[in-house]
Amino acid sequence: MRRMNLWYVAALLLALLAVAGCTAAPVAPGEAGAPAAAPATSGEALTLRLATVSEPSTLDPNLAEDYYSITPIEQMFLGLTNINNATSEIEPELAESWTVSEDGTVWTFNLRQDVKWSDGNPVTAQDIVYSVKRAVKPETASPYAYVLYSIKNAAAINQSEAGAYDIDTLGVKALDDYTVEFTLESPASYFESISSMWTLRPVPSWAIEQFGEAWTDPANIVVNGPYKLVEWRPGEKLIFEKNPDYFAADNVQIDRVELSIITDQFTEVALYESGELDVAGEGAASLPAEEVARILADPVLSAEFHQGPRASTTYVGFTMTKPPFDNVLVRKAFSAAIDRETMVRDVVGSGVPATQFAPPGIFGAPDPEVGLGYDPEQAKAWLAEAGYPDGAGFPTVTYRYFANSLEEALAQALQAMWKETLNVDVQIEAQDFPVFLAGTGPDVPVEEMPEMWRLGWGADYPDENNWVYEVFHCTDSQNRPRAACTEADEKAKQAGIETDPEVRKALYAEVEQLMFGEEVRVAPYYHRGYTILAKPYLQRAYPTFAPVNWDTWRIEK
């Protein structure tokens, strides 16, 4: 692996130092770095103080698609099942039990009968049917509707013109108030994991019909989970309180959760050190590499530091219908010019380099990895073959990312790598996450799209179907790169309905190589790890899969 030249190393370090110094640490109420005392555990509400780098895009389970929205939704709305944070195993939640027909196409869930909405109404099978139908209707424009395509007629309905379908043909029905049945298009063992997802969680039809889009406002929201949103200060924080109507409220120790919005992770760590946060690094973005190095060298902080693998991959997306990235040689050149090892070691400080989409631990993820690795000479050759020898005549293009300190450092590093290897100029552009996500959607006019953009994917369940098929299939996913249908899409769909595990693995290896090694729909460059600081009085799990469950956390003096 070729090392970077000295000017590049210097440029990268200067970029990181600039990011570190751009926001002054707030004045601490006590001595900076001193261990904070545990919150009081008697005589007052027990409060957990967290941070996130972005506001939620939505708190509507049928409309959510990103970490910043899914995390609070997880605390407020129950799934049929849950993925245990400690074991990664599927466990009962709203459903007490479930059965599968011999042919694997009919799933029947038997619901608890003691679950209530926060307005006192019972949670019933009809609420689930309403939610699934609402998510699948094309008028709802649910960005995650495709995860329900395994349900009979879901894809056909969702891809219909508004009003040109019969929603009652969807393969979901309430057999009685506490039994819901799903009929699938074909056997899908991973439907057990899909049953844990937010997209098909019950939602309150009466609140939605009364308040419309405002039904998730703190004054209107009706929930059935362990916490309820009570206040949202835009750009500042969201405040949640324990839901007294939650069926297992007696098992929820923490009364109040304050989720502060802090886009600069250096500030977040400073607030943690001053005792104003109980956790730092939880909000999807890893802590910057130099902060990790400083933490590991500190005897107090290192004892409070937790790191490990997370089933998540960061990638550079290409708008495949917009020149010059409509040329596969250009996409190959940009992917091969990314020094993935340097990105992980010097910028992120956690995770592992990636050339394929699905990380280790996902069923069907190729081992060893496939795809394109760092190869600067080949990158130069591909760009020359595309008609841009040594970058000559290559237009200035834009790489868009969402604003936080780590992503800024990553964007600057990519910009420098593409300049060094390909001699091309790339403008980098930061946006707040909700604006960024909306501005890179599949329906945005191509002329308004950046040529390149940063996104990542975290496992909803540990199966390749959730990766190559549900993220990149040409018709049955959002298909943000706007790829045309190819053999890769056919194989991805075939693998999803295949029942032989070894055949599935072989198919997914082919799909990964086709999508990311040959067509280069995107350029994966690292599989994320988590780097989290947590006070010693906080007892919790650090999940590889699935959102965190605050109701299982404990604060102990």
Domain identity same for 320 and 446: yes
Q: In whole angstroms, what is the distance from residue 37 CA to residue 46 CA?
A: 13
Distance of CA 19 to the CA centre of its chain: 24
Tell me the pLDDT band of 7, cut-offs 50, 70 and 90: very low
Structural domain contains residue 5: no
Q: Would you state the structure tokens that stand for residue 325, as one six-digit string?
A: 């990235």
Q: In 387-431, which residue ranges form alpha helices assigned H by DSSP? A: 405-422
CA angle, corner 370, sides to 366 and 373, nearest 5? 145
Structural domain contains residue 450: yes
pLDDT in tens, 313-331: 999 999 999 999 999 999 9
Domain identity same for 368 and 403: yes
CB 386 within 8 A of CB 395: no
Q: In whole angstroms, what is the distance from residue 377 CA to residue 356 CA?
A: 21
Q: In whole angstroms, what is the distance from residue 343 CA to residue 122 CA?
A: 50
CB 543 within 8 A of CB 358: no
Q: In whole angstroms, what is the distance from residue 557 CA to residue 555 CA?
A: 7
Domain identity same for 389 and 486: yes
CA-wise closest residue to 203 among 141, 144, 121: 121
pLDDT in tens, 433-446: 889 999 999 999 99
Q: What is the pLDDT of residue 27?
A: 29
Q: In whole angstroms, what is the distance from residue 307 CA to residue 351 CA?
A: 9
β-bridge partners, 452: 318, 399
Size of the chain, expressed as the number of residues it contains: 557
**CATH code of the domain covering residue 548:** 3.40.190.10
Domain identity same for 187 and 328: no
CB 192 within 8 A of CB 81: yes
pLDDT in tens, 186-196: 999 899 999 99
Q: What is the pLDDT of residue 119?
A: 98
Domain identity same for 375 and 453: yes
**CATH code of the domain covering residue 437:** 3.10.105.10
Structural domain contains residue 4: no
Residue range 76-88: mean pLDDT, rounded: 95
DSSP assigned state of 149: T
For 332, half-sphere exposure in the C-beta direction (CA atoms, 13 angstrom radius) is: 21
Instruction: State the total domains in the chain.
Output: 3
Q: In whole angstroms, what is the distance from residue 390 CA to residue 411 CA?
A: 22
For residue 230, the surrounding DSSP H or E stretch is strand 227-233
β-bridge partners, 259: 50, 238
Largest Cα–Cα separation, the chain = 72
Q: In whole angstroms, what is the distance from residue 61 CA to residue 76 CA?
A: 10
In sequence order, what are the residues at sequence separation of 6 or more whose Cβ sits closer than 8 angstroms to the Cβ of residue 161? 138
This prediction has a pTM of 0.83
Q: Is the dihedral of CA 12, 18, 19, 20 positive or negative?
A: positive
Q: What is the pLDDT of residue 238?
A: 98
Residue range 105-113: mean pLDDT, rounded: 98
Structural domain contains residue 200: yes
Tell me the pLDDT band of 22, cut-offs 50, 70 and 90: very low
CA angle, corner 64, sides to 524 and 320, nearest 5? 35
Burial class (CB in 10 A: 0-12, 13-18, 19+), 266: buried
CB 106 within 8 A of CB 182: yes
Name the residue type at position 202: P
Q: In whole angstroms, what is the distance from residue 481 CA to residue 459 CA?
A: 19
CA-wise closest residue to 67 among 78, 56, 82, 75: 56
Q: What is the pLDDT of residue 43?
A: 56
Domain identity same for 445 and 502: yes
Which phi-psi region, left, alpha or beta, contains residue 212 (left: φ > 0; alpha: ψ -120 to 50)?
left
Tell me the pLDDT band of 12, cut-offs 50, 70 and 90: very low
Structural domain contains residue 195: yes
Structural domain contains residue 62: no
**CATH code of the domain covering residue 137:** 3.90.76.10
Domain identity same for 393 and 502: yes
Q: Would you state the structure tokens that stand for residue 129, as one six-digit string?
A: 């049917």
Burial class (CB in 10 A: 0-12, 13-18, 19+), 395: exposed
Structural domain contains residue 477: yes
Residue range 508-524: mean pLDDT, rounded: 98
Query: What mean pLDDT value characterizes the chain?
Result: 91
Q: In whole angstroms, what is the distance from residue 511 CA to residue 494 CA?
A: 10
Structural domain contains residue 536: yes
Domain identity same for 87 and 187: yes
Report how far apart, in Å, the C-alpha atoms of 384 and of each of 323, 324, 333, 337, 458 are: 16, 13, 9, 13, 35
Domain identity same for 282 and 343: no
Q: In whole angstroms, what is the distance from residue 467 CA to residue 516 CA?
A: 12
Helix, strand, coil share (%) of the chain residues, nearest 5: 35, 20, 45
CA angle, corner 10, sides to 8 and 12, nearest 5? 70
Q: Would you state the structure tokens that stand for residue 224, as one six-digit string?
A: 């059935």
CB 60 within 8 A of CB 305: no
Domain end, chosen from 165, 184, 208, is at 208
What angle do helix axes 265-273 and 405-422 make, rounded to 10 degrees? 140
Residue 21 has pLDDT above 80, yes or no: no
β-pair type (47-52, 256-261) = parallel
pLDDT in tens, 153-179: 999 999 999 889 999 999 999 999 999
Matching residue, tokens 């104003």: 276
Ranges 25-29, 100-104, 157-161, 204-208: which has the least confidence: 25-29
Residue 236 has pLDDT above 70, yes or no: yes
Domain end, chosen from 208, 227, 260, is at 208
Domain identity same for 157 and 263: no
Distance of CA 63 to the CA centre of its chain: 14
Distance of CA 485 to the CA centre of its chain: 25
Domain identity same for 143 and 226: no
Enclosing domain of residue 390: 313-530
Q: What is the pLDDT of residue 400?
A: 98
Rg (CA), the chain: 24
Domain identity same for 123 and 204: yes
CB 267 within 8 A of CB 25: yes
Q: In whole angstroms, what is the distance from residue 353 CA to residue 373 CA?
A: 9
